[in-house]
Chains A and B, each alone.
Chain A
Amino acid sequence: MSLAVEVRGLTKAYPLYQRPVHRLLELVLPGKRKMHDEFWALRGIDFEVQRGECVGIVGKNGSGKSTLLQILAGTLAPTAGSVHVHGKVAALLELGAGFDPEFTGRENVFNYGMTLGMARREVEERFDRIVAFSEIEDFIDQPVKTYSSGMFMRLAFSVAIHVEPELIIVDEALSVGDFKFQQKCLDRFHELKAEGRTILVVSHSIGVIQNYCDRALWLRRGEAVAYDVAERVARYYFNDYDSMPAALASAAHAGSTDAGAAHAEDATAKSVDSVAHDVVVATAGAAAADAAVDAAVDAAPTVTEPEGFQAEFEDSEVARTVRFVVEGPRGAATSFETNDALTVTWDVELLRPLPNANYGICFESTDSGRPLFATSARNDGVHVPPLDGRVRLRFTLPRVTFLRGRYLLRVTVTNERGITMYARVNQVVAFDHPGLDWGIVRLDVEYEAQALRVDTIETTP
């Protein structure tokens, strides 16, 4: 097999320019005068992709995935390192970039196809297939502005996968259309792969990574945590581990991290059974685990201690935050342990009296934004006096049972029915938990194990 992509020491620093003109001066002026600050989006990435492989790229938002894809696609220039891409590339970094809503589907298919590198003749040849795949035959001569967003995406996607490139780069474009269409796209990827085309895909779907990718590259803060068999990487990534256990990270020839090594050291002390159980539950689809995975699993995750999270204030013309403190048993903090008490003290200045206000607190998942718990004073039957001038609001939670992870704590002052928001503070808080129990909240469990004689067993009818 030959190489489709070869990346060596790839580094991208986003220059942060005070003014665009500084970038020009750097390009044009002789000498190497630096006129910018830098943000390191990628550091020393090494990996290679064989022809016909499908490689998944995982990582949280801001980990450098999109930057990597853009460099591979050639729309961004790397700062250092080398990138070799062999063959014709089609990049689906943003579906339908260049679609003109005033033109018909047919006209846009031609334009988009040619934008992606096809000749007019080639688009003509493939036109019927493109339209058939997108399933919008009846609307192809209507202006695209009359399309639903799903139709728009389907058409764009359909054009893009008919370019027949040797390397296809897909950035989260798989969330296209309904379930059935997604399945069709994945099947099409399978076909393309079988034809020997190489696919690089960013996905947040564990199913896509595990079932469609051969290998996966895990990026964190611009560095490669692991580059290994997709199933293995997916297991660790989707279990929200901060790094790959060392046994795996070193097996991957792309970057290992110090954190990974640290995990391996205290690995042996832990009980294998209890943790391994969790992993099997979490990745039920990946039954074919090999011994290396199982052995490395007992590297219990540790929280990388946050340096304190900044609160985010949202004021209005009616109210503004004067002071905001979150306290735990050890004073002001943004990091807690499960079962800690938590107190929020929030001083708000009201610029006009609010006779019928309400104030509340909620926790949300930092990953999905899904509310985990929300309530308010009025909801809990607490009398809220008319608010005016400076007011101190206090929320006391004697025992917060969140398990290891980060949560968005949010307090609000609203009108009586909670519809109009006057002031809000968002504060990320981290919880750590020394135990091996797993999930979102700690629930109290009472255990009992009792020997029963066979003749005393009561059966439910």
Chain B
Amino acid sequence: MHRMQTPAAATSPLAVVQRLARRWDLTLDLIHRELVGRYKGSILGVFWSLIQPLFLLAIYTVVFGVVMPMNANAPSIADFAIFLFTGMITWNLVSESLGGAAKLIVNRPTFVKKVVFPLEILAVVQVGVAVVHFFFALAVLLLAIVIFQGLHVTILWLPIVMAPLAIFCLGLTWLLAALGVYLRDLSETVGIVLMAGMFVAPVFYPLDGNLPEIFRAFVYCNPATWFIVQMRHILIDGVAPPLASLAILYCVTLLCAWGGFAFFERARPGFGDVT
């Protein structure tokens, strides 16, 4: 028997995992649907999700590598492109997860009102799609690294380093999705913050002494900064990540994900009233 007076079900960390696991089939299907559905009927299909970032990479490489060079440490254009692409795909994971987050629930009124739908998995789907796109792009990046620089064994750290970022994005997506139902201005705000965020992260430039001191402080405030730096360490420089920081990050991001989920559940009873 279940009591429906309180649709907000258990939100203990273990219960959260159990609830998500129970709808894993549906989550995977929705991720697949998102990945494939966007390009249904087009000739290149799912390759478009790769073509777009590659095209951007080409533009950025020409502008920031050739026209007005931003990284004096990169000896060649290929090195700069690899440097840039590493930052880009890391940042894209964040921007893709959070970009549509505030509209995640609002855009699906039928899921709120017309079916008994596990709304919480929509955030997992959103971040899941971003993760898959990340791996697509990563494949291309690794190919380039193999050709131009050679792989370091530290690449094995990659899943361990990136997992906290995905977890962090998930928590933030839950938070934004729930807030976005009530605050309709949020989506635009997030869009602007993400646009700025790309430049306030060491995507185009290295975190070195050439950065003005005040600006560098901003860059350090960007949660993606640490991950971009570490990604370059393990992929390009062959340096392992600092374990202590990593351990702390796991704690913080898991807490953040749980907090986001708890907030989502708290706000959920009102979804039907305002969507």
Q: Inside 8 A of A82's CB, which chain B residues have their CB?
A: 3, 5
- B3 near A24: Cβ-Cβ < 8 Å: no
Known: A77-B272, A91-B116, A120-B29. A100 touches B37 (CB 8 A): yes
A sample of 4 more A-B contacts (CB under 8 A), given A24-B270, A82-B3, A87-B1, is A93-B113, A94-B114, A98-B110, A114-B23
Known: A77-B269, A93-B114. A115 touches B26 (CB 8 A): yes
- A23 near B116: Cβ-Cβ < 8 Å: no
In Å, the complex CA distance between A75 and B267 comes to: 14
Give the nearest-CB partner of B183 in chain A: A21
- B114 near A97: Cβ-Cβ < 8 Å: yes
Point out residues on A near B: beta carbons under 8 Å: 14-15, 17, 20-21, 23-24, 26-28, 70-78, 82-87, 89, 91, 93-94, 97-98, 100, 102-103, 107, 110-111, 114-117, 119-120, 143
- B183 near A102: Cβ-Cβ < 8 Å: no
Interface residues of B in 231-275 (CB under 8 A from A): 266-267, 269-270, 272-274
Known: A103-B33, A103-B40. A20 touches B272 (CB 8 A): no
- A115 near B7: Cβ-Cβ < 8 Å: no
- B29 near A110: Cβ-Cβ < 8 Å: yes
A152 to chain B, nearest CB (A): 14
Q: Is the interface of B mostly helix, strand, loop or mixed?
A: helix
- B273 near A89: Cβ-Cβ < 8 Å: no
**9 sample A-B contacts, Cβ–Cβ < 8 Å, listed by A number:** A15-B273, A21-B183, A24-B267, A74-B116, A94-B115, A107-B33, A111-B33, A114-B25, A115-B117
- A76 near B272: Cβ-Cβ < 8 Å: yes
- A94 near B110: Cβ-Cβ < 8 Å: yes
Give the nearest-CB partner of A119 in chain B: B25
Task: Check if B60 is an interface residue, CB within 8 A of chain A.
Answer: no
Number of residues in B with C-beta < 8 Å to the partner?
35
- Which residue of A20, A98, A102, A103 contacts B182 across the interface (Cβ within 8 Å)? A20
Interface residues of B in 1-50 (CB under 8 A from A): 1-5, 7, 23, 25-26, 29-30, 33, 37, 40-41
Task: Check if B177 is an interface residue, CB within 8 A of chain A.
Answer: no
Q: Inside 8 A of B41's CB, which chain A residues have their CB?
A: 102
- B4 near A20: Cβ-Cβ < 8 Å: no
Task: Check if B137 is an interface residue, CB within 8 A of chain A.
Answer: no
A159 to chain B, nearest CB (A): 12
Give the nearest-CB partner of B109 in chain A: A97
- A76 near B113: Cβ-Cβ < 8 Å: yes
Task: Check if B93 is an interface residue, CB within 8 A of chain A.
Answer: no
Q: Inside 8 A of A97's CB, which chain B residues have their CB?
A: 110-111, 114-115
Known: A78-B5, A83-B5, A103-B33. A120 touches B114 (CB 8 A): no
Q: Inside 8 A of B2's CB, which chain A residues have their CB?
A: 85-86
B270 to chain A, nearest CB (A): 5
- B273 near A14: Cβ-Cβ < 8 Å: yes
Give the nearest-CB partner of A26 in chain B: B270
In Å, the complex CA distance between A103 and B33 comes to: 8
Known: A23-B274, A97-B111, A102-B41. A117 touches B116 (CB 8 A): yes
Known: A27-B269, A75-B112, A103-B33. A85 touches B4 (CB 8 A): yes
- Which residue of A14, A86, A102, A107 contacts B1 across the interface (Cβ within 8 Å)? A86
In Å, the complex CA distance between A187 and B267 comes to: 41
- A115 near B269: Cβ-Cβ < 8 Å: no
Task: Check if B179 is an interface residue, CB within 8 A of chain A.
Answer: yes
Q: What does the 1/0 interface line of B170-192 toward A look like (CB < 8 Å)?
A: 00000000010111100000000
- A70 near B272: Cβ-Cβ < 8 Å: yes
Point out residues on B near A: beta carbons under 8 Å: 1-5, 7, 23, 25-26, 29-30, 33, 37, 40-41, 110-117, 179, 181-184, 266-267, 269-270, 272-274
Q: Inside 8 A of B182's CB, which chain A residues have their CB?
A: 20-21, 23-24
Known: A14-B273, A100-B37, A110-B29. A115 touches B4 (CB 8 A): no
Q: How many contacts between A and B, using CB within 8 angstroms?
A: 110
In Å, the complex CA distance between A377 and B44 comes to: 63
A373 to chain B, nearest CB (A): 39
In Å, the complex CA distance between A110 and B111 comes to: 16
- A74 near B7: Cβ-Cβ < 8 Å: yes
Q: Which residue, of A74, A77, A120, has the highest number of chain B Cβ atoms within 10 A? A: A77
In Å, the complex CA distance between A76 and B270 comes to: 8
A3 to chain B, nearest CB (A): 9
A57 to chain B, nearest CB (A): 17
- B184 near A75: Cβ-Cβ < 8 Å: no
- B3 near A116: Cβ-Cβ < 8 Å: no
- A111 near B30: Cβ-Cβ < 8 Å: yes
In Å, the complex CA distance between A102 and B184 comes to: 29
In Å, the complex CA distance between A177 and B243 comes to: 62
Q: Which residue, of B112, B114, B184, B274, has the highest number of chain A Cβ atoms within 10 A? A: B114
Give the nearest-CB partner of B41 in chain A: A102
- A111 near B29: Cβ-Cβ < 8 Å: yes
Q: Inside 8 A of B267's CB, which chain A residues have their CB?
A: 24, 27-28
- A98 near B111: Cβ-Cβ < 8 Å: yes
Q: Inside 8 A of A116's CB, which chain B residues have their CB?
A: 115-116
- B112 near A28: Cβ-Cβ < 8 Å: no
In Å, the complex CA distance between A110 and B28 comes to: 11
In Å, the complex CA distance between A291 and B184 comes to: 59
Q: Inside 8 A of A24's CB, which chain B residues have their CB?
A: 179, 181-183, 267, 270
Listed from nearest, the 9 A-B pairs whose CB atoms lie closest are A24-B182, A94-B114, A114-B26, A102-B40, A97-B110, A120-B25, A77-B269, A97-B114, A20-B274
In Å, the complex CA distance between A87 and B2 comes to: 7
B75 to chain A, nearest CB (A): 47
Q: Inside 8 A of B116's CB, which chain A residues have their CB?
A: 73-75, 89, 91, 116-117
- B37 near A77: Cβ-Cβ < 8 Å: no
Give the nearest-CB partner of A70 in chain B: B113
In Å, the complex CA distance between A93 and B111 comes to: 11
In Å, the complex CA distance between A243 and B274 comes to: 33
- A74 near B37: Cβ-Cβ < 8 Å: no
- B184 near A20: Cβ-Cβ < 8 Å: yes
A317 to chain B, nearest CB (A): 33
Give the nearest-CB partner of B30 in chain A: A111
In Å, the complex CA distance between A70 and B41 comes to: 36
A60 to chain B, nearest CB (A): 21
- Which residue of A26, A75, A86, A102 contacts B115 across the interface (Cβ within 8 Å)? A75
Give the nearest-CB partner of A71 in chain B: B4
Q: Inside 8 A of A84's CB, which chain B residues have their CB?
A: 1, 3-4
Give the nearest-CB partner of A24 in chain B: B182
In Å, the complex CA distance between A77 and B183 comes to: 20
- B110 near A17: Cβ-Cβ < 8 Å: no
